[in-house]
Structure 1
Amino acid sequence: MKPSALPITLIAISSLLIGCQSTSKKEVVAIEYNNYEIMSNCSLPDSTEAGPIKDTLFVVGTFSDWKHIPDREYKYKGDNLYQAVTQESAGKYKMQFASSSWSPQFTADERSMTIGQEKALKFGGYAKDTEVEILEPGQYVWSMKFDDTGAPFSVMVEKCQ
């Protein structure tokens, strides 16, 4: 490299690095949470691979069939994604996403969900229910995503189309 080209190259590299640093954490999270198409897909095939969570998980709560039953069981879809497709009635519900032994159990950030909006998934516990209002009856997909280490990442519920 010619000596006269060195300062220009360093300026260009410095500008790129400074531009990368200006991305706010909120913007990065918004990019990472861009899973709507996958998490709202009600017909993903089950994976034959083992998922990051060893126990069978269920969406359980104040539904008429609130127990840990096969109709509320999450299925592993691959890529750290679990989904349960359920028939729901309109109403306000409180729930957790849990194994039949209640360990592990998970809840949405701020303990509330809105249909069609992805939220951070957190570890739950006693009296840490998530609230959601289902406005119209129908089939819904409950999705939970974990990161590559198996830590809770995001959760969403959406009406199947």
Structure 2
Amino acid sequence: MNYFEQELRRLFGNDTNITDKRFVGRAFFGKLTDNLRVRIEFVTLVIADHYEAVKATVINRNDGPVDALTLRFADLIGKKMVSNPNFRDGITPYIWKYGDKIEWYVYKPTKADYDKISGALNDYFNVFREPTQELEQSGQSERGLTMQDM
């Protein structure tokens, strides 16, 4: 298991909202609905070998990509304070590759950080999931509408 797979398993290994999970190389694949799949991977943005974001792509199994979203760790978990004197103002977390070594640079995310990242991605995925009957009922009661009113 490579480092990226290990980190993707930390994010989605126990996620019950995504089924038929596959961890392949640097990517994670899963099933959102009968027709929609998701691909999640760590990506670089400006500097090579600095993986400072996670990219999620929703894929229709028959028609291909539907939508994609890139979420920066800086936006999700913010700047983190560390004891390293070289980073007195804190550091924005990212995974770096240096030679054969791959790891989080200076700051290693906590469980709460991983939860924020996976939670944000699940909020995005919820846009594409089929509404559940519970959600439909709560939406109707909030608006006072029934299906016949629509």
Query: Please, what TM-score do these two structures have when normalized by structure 2?
Result: 0.26
Higher-RCO chain (CA-CA 8 Å, sequence separation at least 6): 1
Larger radius of gyration: 1
Query: Please, what TM-score do these two structures have when normalized by structure 1?
Result: 0.25
Higher helix share: 2
